[in-house]
């Protein structure tokens, strides 16, 4: 069966066209297409159609329910000879649900029932829509999306008239397309249709063009933000920057290397001994000088005039030998061979000597013992020749060394002191005593009361060593030109430490039962006893007393205490300096009692020191102290 030509109708003829294009008793299928491509199907009976005969009903083909109503902008020339708008039925007017709009998509015309194909087929392509004619009377209403209508049942019928019998929809269920159910617009009253109000446009759920939606969103986002949004954005930005800065600072503080702990002295850093200076029984004749090593001079007597010093000269001899050929404790040193001159001089009764024979082998240490204990002149000359090749060369070295020590009133004429031209003063020889007593081997030798060499016993001429006088050396000397002389060394025990006392007595004459050798020793012993009494001890720190603190470098401190009593010797007017010395690198944790330093008092040979420990446990710095660290 051929298809009926397509009918097109204007906005006023939509209802009439629907009535003319169908037979009586038939159902009109309407399709309303909105601008957003949503289609609504309406089915209603035709009130003006003629009832079909049974035969005609049997011969009529299956009607396609998708009968479209095109936009009301279609002209009469396109729809054919349809009835005027006044003849439009109320049902047809009700199908008109949206005003004319220049932007809506064209609506398919209503096709008559007889023109529908027997089986569902694709609708014919719509013809190009002509330009709409301008309306003479009024401006068109704004375009609005149509209200979608939905299928409310098999058919939506108008009120049937007495001579009209509604027909059933013969469209098979499987041939029906799914539709959206919506509300139908109310039927328009008879007469000229009024322009309906523009309905609210429904929300666009699925835009036809996605790029248009994206552009719309971009336009929305391109709008200048409000002041509140700008302020909030700035606040958020600064908050993030501040949080980042704080995080960097925290990490930097925690990762910084910790400073090493340091010990600090909190006790007084000095102490001065009070009282009056001691008055020592110095000899009225001759010369004398006394000194407490490290504390200062304790007095002197006699003119500073160079006088012969006899065998006290041998102290410089021993100093130069040990300087050129040093020995360690327990060592004997190189071997010397006794020459002919030394062997011949050993039998001279006018001077002190040691018995040796030519070709005899003696060690350096044995030679020094014979030099200092029995004061052997022949061994003094043997050492000079062994060291420098000749006695004159050695004497020259003696004078050079005296000048280096500041012994301005001293001159040496021979290596033994037998020559009366060897002269010095008590104060000059005291300078030499300070230097030579620093040598451990020299102190060891001069403190020996006697020694055994090659099976022969030799004795020390310093008889003060045998008594309980605290005397530890050093050298006697006597001759007719020099009188009785003595260089002595004694100690005073103070708080477990020994204070060294040195003195020189020259030009003493025998008397009171003393011979020439013992005269200076008797005078010196009285001076030694008085000097020892003048040395006092002062406890500057007791065991367990806080003397300082350990600073961890971040504000944390741990008290430091002395591990034992610190007692220092002194004389009236002596000033003693205290210092706290750190015992190497210290970790950031230490248990109580760990030694971290040393408390030192004084300097030089009489320096006294005690260990210093932490009073309580040293804990590592806290996180808070590390974060708040500034330096």
Q: Can you give the pTM of this predicted structure?
A: 0.58
- Assess contact for 87 and 191: CB atoms under 8 A: no
CA dist., res. 315 & res. 445, Å (int): 12
Q: Where are the domains of the chain?
A: 1-223, 262-273+539-627
Is residue 587 scored above 90 in pLDDT?
Answer: no
Asked if 559 and 591 touch (Cβ cutoff 8 Å), the reply is no
DSSP H or E segment with residue 316: helix 314-324
What rounded mean pLDDT belongs to the chain?
76
For 408-453, give the secondary structure using H, E and C: CCCECCCCCCCCCCCEECHHHHHHHHHHHCCCHHHHHHHCCCEEEE
Q: Considering all CA atoms of the chain, what is the largest pairwise distance in Å, rounded to the nearest integer?
A: 186
Residue 148 and residue 444: Cα distance in Å, rounded? 127
The candidate with the shortest Cα–Cα distance to 169, out of 153, 146, 145, is: 153
CATH fold for domain 262-273+539-627: Peptidoglycan synthesis regulatory factor (PBP3), Domain 2 (2.60.410)
Q: Residue 623: what pLDDT? A: 67
314 close to 371: Cβ distance less than 8 angstroms? yes
Active site residues: 311, 314, 375
The rounded distance, in Å, linking the Cα atoms of 151 and 494 is 124
pLDDT for 131 equals 56
Cβ atoms of residues 12 and 85 within 8 Å = yes
Average the pLDDT over 282-307 and give the result: 94
Place of tokens 């019928």: 157
Top mean pLDDT of 54-63, 266-275, 469-478 is at 469-478
Write the CA distances from 111 to 7, 29, 39, 123, 514, integer angstroms. 6, 9, 16, 10, 167
Does 396 show up as a binding residue in the annotation? no
Q: What is the pLDDT of residues 197-234, one digit of tens each?
A: 666 665 555 456 677 777 776 666 666 668 888 899 88
Q: What's the pLDDT at 107?
A: 43
> First-to-last CA distance in the chain?
104
Determine the Cα–Cα distance for residues 454 and 543; give it in Å rounded to an integer. Answer: 51
CB 569 within 8 A of CB 497: yes
- Give the CA-trace dihedral at 341, 346, 350, 353, to 10 degrees: 110
**Integer Cα distance of 98 and 142 in angstroms:** 10
Cβ proximity of 144 and 199 under 8 Å: yes
């Amino acid at each position: 069966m051929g298809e009926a030509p397509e009918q097109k109708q204007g906005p006023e003829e939509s209802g009439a066209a629907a009535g003319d294009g169908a037979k009586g008793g038939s159902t009109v299928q309407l399709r309303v297409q909105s601008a957003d491509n949503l289609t609504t199907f309406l089915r209603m009976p035709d009130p003006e159609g003629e009832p079909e005969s049974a035969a005609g009903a049997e011969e009529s083909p299956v009607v396609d329910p998708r009968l479209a109503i095109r936009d009301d902008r279609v002209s009469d020339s396109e729809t054919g000879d349809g009835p005027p708008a006044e003849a439009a039925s109320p049902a047809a007017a009700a199908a008109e649900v949206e005003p004319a709009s220049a932007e809506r998509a064209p609506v398919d015309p209503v096709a008559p029932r007889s023109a529908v194909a027997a089986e569902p087929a694709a609708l014919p392509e719509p013809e190009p829509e002509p330009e709409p004619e301008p309306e003479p009377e009024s401006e068109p209403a704004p375009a609005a999306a149509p209200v979608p209508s939905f299928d409310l049942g098999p058919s939506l019928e108008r009120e049937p008239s007495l001579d009209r019998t509604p027909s059933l929809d013969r469209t098979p269920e499987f041939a029906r397309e799914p539709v959206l159910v919506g509300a139908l617009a109310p039927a328009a009253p008879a007469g000229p249709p009024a322009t309906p109000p523009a309905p609210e446009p429904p929300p666009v759920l699925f835009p036809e063009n996605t790029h248009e939606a994206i552009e719309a969103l971009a336009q929305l986002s391109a709008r200048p933000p409000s002041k509140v949004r700008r302020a909030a954005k700035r606040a958020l930005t600064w908050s993030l920057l501040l949080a980042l800065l704080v995080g960097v600072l925290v990490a930097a503080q925690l990762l910084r290397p910790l400073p090493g702990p340091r010990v600090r002295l909190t006790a007084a850093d000095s102490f001065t001994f009070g009282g009056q200076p001691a008055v020592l029984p110095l000899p009225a004749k001759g010369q004398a000088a006394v000194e407490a090593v490290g504390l200062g001079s304790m007095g002197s007597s006699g003119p500073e005039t160079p006088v012969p010093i006899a065998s006290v000269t041998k102290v410089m001899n021993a100093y130069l030998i040990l300087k050129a050929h040093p020995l360690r404790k327990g060592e004997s040193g190189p071997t010397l061979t006794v020459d002919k001159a030394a062997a011949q001089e050993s039998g001279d009764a006018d001077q002190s000597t040691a018995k040796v024979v030519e070709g005899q082998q003696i060690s350096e240490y044995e030679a020094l013992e014979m030099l200092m204990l029995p004061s052997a002149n022949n061994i003094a000359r043997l050492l000079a020749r062994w060291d420098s090749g000749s006695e004159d060369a050695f004497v020259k070295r003696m004078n050079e060394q005296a000048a280096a020590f500041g012994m301005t009133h001293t001159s040496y004429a021979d290596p033994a002191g037998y020559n009366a031209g060897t002269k010095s003063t008590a104060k000059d020889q005291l300078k030499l005593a300070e230097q030579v007593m620093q040598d451990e081997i020299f102190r060891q030798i001069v403190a020996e009361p006697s020694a055994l060499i090659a099976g022969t016993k030799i004795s020390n001429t310093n008889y003060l060593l045998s008594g309980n006088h605290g005397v530890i050396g050093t050298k006697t000397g006597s001759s007719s030109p020099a009188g009785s002389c003595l260089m002595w060394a004694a100690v005073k025990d103070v708080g477990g430490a020994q204070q060294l006392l040195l003195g020189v007595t020259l030009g003493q004459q025998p008397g009171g039962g003393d011979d020439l050798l013992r005269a200076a020793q008797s005078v010196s012993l009285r001076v030694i006893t008085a000097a020892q009494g003048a040395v006092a001890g002062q406890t500057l720190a007791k065991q367990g007393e806080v003397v300082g603190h350990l600073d961890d470098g971040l504000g944390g401190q741990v008290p430091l205490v002395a591990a034992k009593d610190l007692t220092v010797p002194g004389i009236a007017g002596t000033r003693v300096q205290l210092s706290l010395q750190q015992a190497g690198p210290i970790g950031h944790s230490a248990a109580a009692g760990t030694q971290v330093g040393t408390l030192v008092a004084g300097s030089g040979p009489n320096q006294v020191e005690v260990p210093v420990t932490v009073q309580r446990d040293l804990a590592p710095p806290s996180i808070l102290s590390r974060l708040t660290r500034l330096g």
